[in-house]
Amino acid sequence: MGEDHARIIDATTERFGKDRGRLIDIARALQGELGHLSEETIGRIAGALDMHRVEVRDAVSFYSFFSREPTGKTVIRLCNGVVERMMGADEVARAFEEAVGARFGETEPGQSISMVYTPCIGLSDQAPSALVNKTPLTRLRRDDVPGIVEAVREGRDVSDLPQTEIKLNLHKTGPVICARLERGVAIRAAVNRSPADVINEINRARLRGRGGAGFPTAMKWDYCRRAGGDRHFVICNADEGEPGTFKDRVLLTGFADLVFEGMTVAAYAVGAREGFLYLRGEYEHLLGHLEEVLRKRRHLGLLGENICGCEGFSFDVRIQVGAGAYVCGEESALIESLEGRRGAPRDRPPFPVQSGYQGEPTSVNNVETLCCAARIMVEGAEWFARFGTKDSTGTKLLSVSGDCARPGVYEVEFGASVAKVLDMVGGADARGVQVGGPSGRCLGPRDYGRSISFDDVSTGGSFMVFGPQRDVLRMMYEFTEFFAEESCGWCAPCRVGMTLLVRQFEKILNGKGTRADQAALERLAVTVKNMSRCGLGQTGANPILTSLRNFPELYDARLRSEEFIAPFDLAEALREGRQITGRKPPLEGTHA
Ligand code: SF4
């Protein structure tokens, strides 16, 4: 290792106080500076942080933003999720490959540009999209690509390119979330009550977590407040990695004050002095804006010591940027990542409210949930509960993408029907809708009368529209592939089961499946769902299970025979070997 190299590593570990809990930050900084994390780099980091190199290697190898091999100075991450491919990402990919002279997954021979695929960067409403290092490009067309590559090669600032415009795309605002709120009003309303009264107000509003599971927020805060321990923490989960979800991008861009207001209310309620906003790595482009909002809030006395003049109430927020791992959206995996480890979910109990960040009681809340909590402080529980349904009060933000006239974010009251949303977004002729992202459910026209709510069709926000021309089963197959790729590998039912599901599904998709294969697919999907350890495995088979239920005719059309059909063509598989060895194929009807 050269002296310069060593100096950079030492300065970086020093900058983060040689704190092993900041390993992800250190690795992010060094990945940016050195282009990769070599074995030597890992060893030097380990030495500085007083860790074993295996621990460092174990953590950094988990995240897709870190590379053990040298990468180009510029990394182009093209989003190839289902919606992005529907909108032409494959064509854009070919254009990049032609312009760069390398394939995706490779670094060009001159080592200047690397290209990789990524499943979602939170811009499905402006697809196809890509990140050039951390700069997003939107609404890409094949013809844009030569100019982009030229700008990269000439070392120009890509943020000057016209494709870097990100539209807010907030098409429908509502009274609860996307409405103006004066800075500090919610905090003042909170500190005029006792922490127990704040929780009581949230309880009477019947606020449920907006991440999808719908756990009562007041109960979570109450458990956290009552748990022992010297320190309590609040975490805002802004790791929205569910493909097709981008509402947090809009909230963090247009309503960041409301988010921090909600975090501060939560901190007051649970007795936390420290909070974290865990920002997905793909949203690093929002970091400067968010830091500026925090700076202003500190200046106004809305963060720091004795907030809003409330003696003894002190709270501040640090933003932790992730490094590309879908499973970190799961709260315990997120905490692991925040502590500088691989983002593998923890066994529960204990739950994070009992033992979370650094083993202390921690409340992890969704971005949207915190916005609702701030509004409830100002408007009151009765006002909030007027919207929505009895068990799903308030409004919900939907991230709408796919085959519709107006993709973007919509604030709708709980209880709105799927048909109503489709009408609103210009997608009434949809063949199917994926509600809740890949882990949600695929609905067909028979279900369009159902309502968006926790008791019926629950969703963290993703609403993907598939037009009449789409092959819905292929979409479900791609979702299944996504989960197989994102499995953290900790438990066998998910690690092995998801891969087996992909293979079995592929057989059916390719017209080689029988009724028995379909039954085996369903059995395996149920097993993976029931036996997996965390939410990823427990929901990863949903694309298969919900499409089996709601689109049986699409499976029927693919099942060609009741007889056994091999999943692959043996003669074709042996063809190359025969050519090499000069062996002749056997006669028709004999064994290969
Ligand atoms: Fe990891 Fe999947 Fe098991 Fe969750 S279910 S712990 S993601 S292997």
Query: What amino acid is encoded at 138 in this protein?
Result: T
Reply yes or no on whether the pLDDT at 343 is more than 60: yes
Residue to substitute in 347, 491, 500, 502 for testing ligand 1 pocket (most ligand atoms within 8 angstroms of CB): 491
Copy the structure tokens of residue 121: 């960067």
Give pLDDT, residue 580: 85
Reply yes or no on whether the pLDDT at 362 is more than 60: yes
Give pLDDT, residue 568: 63
Q: What value does the mean pLDDT take over residues 174-180?
A: 94
Query: What amino acid is encoded at 576 in this protein?
Result: E
Q: Whose CA is nearest to atom 1 of ligand 1?
A: 488
Residue 440 CA to ligand 1 centre (angstroms): 17
| CB 307 within 8 Å of CB 313 | yes
Torsion over CA: 482, 488, 491, 496 (sign): positive
How far, CA to CA in Å, does 202 sit from each of 183, 267, 384?
A: 20, 14, 10
Give the confidence band of 101 by pLDDT, cuts at 50, 70, 90. Answer: very high
Residue 534 CA to ligand 1 centre (angstroms): 5
Nearest to 256 by CA among 248, 267, 245: 248
pLDDT digits (tens, 9 = 90+) for 383-438: 999 999 999 999 999 999 999 999 999 999 999 999 999 999 999 999 999 999 99
What lies within 8 Å, CB to CB, of 159 at 6+ separation is 135
In this structure, the number of other CB atoms found within 10 A of the CB of residue 33 comes to 12
Copy the structure tokens of residue 37: 């994390």
| CB 161 within 8 Å of CB 148 | yes
Can you say how many angstroms the Cα of residue 183 is from the centroid of all Cα atoms in its chain? 28
Residue to substitute in 502, 536, 539, 542 for testing ligand 1 pocket (most ligand atoms within 8 angstroms of CB): 536
The CA angle 494-281-216, to the nearest 5 degrees, is: 65
Domain 473-592: which topology?
de novo design (two linked rop proteins) (1.20.1440)
Q: Whose CA is nearest to atom 5 of ligand 1?
A: 537
Query: What amino acid is encoded at 499 in this protein?
Result: T
Q: Distance between CA 263 and CA 217 in Å, rounded?
A: 13
Residue to substitute in 330, 334, 487 for testing ligand 1 pocket (most ligand atoms within 8 angstroms of CB): 487
Q: Distance between CA 282 and CA 238 in Å, rounded?
A: 11
Give pLDDT, residue 592: 44
DSSP assignment letter at 294? H
pLDDT digits (tens, 9 = 90+) for 521-540: 999 999 999 999 999 999 99
Copy the structure tokens of residue 516: 């028995």
Q: Report the chain's mean pLDDT, rounded to a whole number.
A: 94
Give pLDDT, residue 589: 46
In this structure, the number of other CB atoms found within 10 A of the CB of residue 30 comes to 24
CATH 3.40.50.11540 occupies which residues in the chain?
A: 171-385
Nearest ligand 1 atom to alpha carbon 534: 4
| CB 257 within 8 Å of CB 293 | yes
Please, what is the angle between helix 3-15 and helix 39-49, to 10°?
Answer: 40
Residue 503 CA to ligand 1 centre (angstroms): 19
Residue to substitute in 494, 500, 542 for testing ligand 1 pocket (most ligand atoms within 8 angstroms of CB): 494
Nearest ligand 1 atom to alpha carbon 538: 5
Q: Tell me the residue length of the chain.
A: 592
Residue 227 CA to ligand 1 centre (angstroms): 28
CATH 3.40.30.10 occupies which residues in the chain?
A: 74-166
According to DSSP, the residues that pair with 463 across neighbouring strands are 400, 435
Per CATH, the number for 171-385 is 3.40.50.11540
Q: Whose CA is nearest to atom 3 of ligand 1?
A: 491
CATH 1.20.1440.230 occupies which residues in the chain?
A: 473-592
Q: What value does the mean pLDDT take over residues 551-556?
A: 95
CATH 3.10.20.600 occupies which residues in the chain?
A: 395-466
Nearest ligand 1 atom to alpha carbon 532: 5
| CB 422 within 8 Å of CB 402 | no
Q: Distance between CA 366 and CA 555 in Å, rounded?
A: 36
Residue 217 CA to ligand 1 centre (angstroms): 25
Percent of the chain with pLDDT over 70: 97
Q: Distance between CA 386 and CA 176 in Å, rounded?
A: 11
pLDDT digits (tens, 9 = 90+) for 237-254: 999 988 999 999 999 999
Residue to substitute in 326, 480, 485, 490 for testing ligand 1 pocket (most ligand atoms within 8 angstroms of CB): 490
Residue 169 CA to ligand 1 centre (angstroms): 34
Q: Which residue has the higher pLDDT, 591 or 139?
A: 139
Give pLDDT, residue 110: 76
According to DSSP, the residues that pair with 399 across neighbouring strands are 409, 462
Q: Distance between CA 203 and CA 163 in Å, rounded?
A: 45
Least confident of 317-321, 381-385, 436-440: 436-440
The CA radius of gyration of the chain, in Å to the nearest whole number, is 25
Least confident of 353-357, 368-372, 570-574: 570-574
Q: Which residue has the higher pLDDT, 367 or 577?
A: 367
CATH pick for 74-166 out of 3.20.20.140, 3.90.226.10, 3.40.30.10, 3.10.420.10: 3.40.30.10
Residue 494 CA to ligand 1 centre (angstroms): 6
Residue 533 CA to ligand 1 centre (angstroms): 6
In this structure, the number of other CB atoms found within 10 A of the CB of residue 20 comes to 21
According to DSSP, the residues that pair with 44 across neighbouring strands are none
Give pLDDT, residue 228: 86
| CB 63 within 8 Å of CB 324 | yes
Element (H, E) at 409: strand 408-413
Give the confidence band of 578 by pLDDT, cuts at 50, 70, 90. Answer: confident
Copy the structure tokens of residue 138: 């939107």
Residue 577 CA to ligand 1 centre (angstroms): 38
Give the confidence band of 177 by pLDDT, cuts at 50, 70, 90. Answer: very high
Nearest to 352 by CA among 329, 328, 334: 334
Q: Distance between CA 540 and CA 487 in Å, rounded?
A: 9
Residue to substitute in 242, 327, 342, 346 for testing ligand 1 pocket (most ligand atoms within 8 angstroms of CB): 327
Reply yes or no on whether the pLDDT at 138 is more than 50: yes
Burial-class residue 324 by CB neighbours within 10 Å (0-12, 13-18, 19+). Answer: buried
Residue to substitute in 482, 495, 501, 502 for testing ligand 1 pocket (most ligand atoms within 8 angstroms of CB): 495
Give pLDDT, residue 567: 59
| CB 41 within 8 Å of CB 34 | yes
Nearest to 436 by CA among 428, 424, 423, 447: 447
Q: What value does the mean pLDDT take over residues 440-458?
A: 95
Q: What value does the mean pLDDT take over residues 357-381?
A: 98
Nearest ligand 1 atom to alpha carbon 490: 8
Residue 343 CA to ligand 1 centre (angstroms): 10
Label the pairing between strands 274-279 and 316-321: parallel
Residue 590 CA to ligand 1 centre (angstroms): 44
In this structure, the number of other CB atoms found within 10 A of the CB of residue 377 comes to 30
According to DSSP, the residues that pair with 432 across neighbouring strands are 466
Give pLDDT, residue 213: 83
The CA angle 176-312-287, to the nearest 5 degrees, is: 50
Can you say how many angstroms the Cα of residue 574 is from the centroid of all Cα atoms in its chain? 41
Residue 49 CA to ligand 1 centre (angstroms): 28
| CB 58 within 8 Å of CB 24 | no
Protein residues whose CB sits closer than 6 Å to any atom of ligand 1: 327, 345, 487-491, 494-495, 532-534, 536-537
Q: What value does the mean pLDDT take over residues 464-476?
A: 97
Reply yes or no on whether the pLDDT at 560 is more than 80: no
pLDDT digits (tens, 9 = 90+) for 481-498: 999 999 999 999 999 999
Nearest ligand 1 atom to alpha carbon 345: 6
Give pLDDT, residue 584: 74
pLDDT digits (tens, 9 = 90+) for 276-297: 999 999 999 999 999 999 999 9
pLDDT digits (tens, 9 = 90+) for 66-97: 999 999 999 999 999 999 999 999 999 999 99
Give the confidence band of 575 by pLDDT, cuts at 50, 70, 90. Answer: confident
Nearest to 485 by CA among 465, 502, 470, 468: 502
- 43-61 burial by CB neighbour count: b if 16+ within 10 A, else e? ebbbebbebeeebbbebbe
Enter the pTM of the model.
0.92
Give pLDDT, residue 586: 63
Nearest ligand 1 atom to alpha carbon 486: 7
Per CATH, the number for 395-466 is 3.10.20.600
Residue 452 CA to ligand 1 centre (angstroms): 28
Reply yes or no on whether the pLDDT at 591 is more than 60: no
Nearest ligand 1 atom to alpha carbon 489: 8
Q: Distance between CA 419 and CA 565 in Å, rounded?
A: 40
Residue 487 CA to ligand 1 centre (angstroms): 5
What lies within 8 Å, CB to CB, of 497 at 6+ separation is 524, 527, 528, 531, 532, 537, 541
Q: Distance between CA 478 and CA 464 in Å, rounded?
A: 14
Q: Distance between CA 558 and CA 553 in Å, rounded?
A: 9
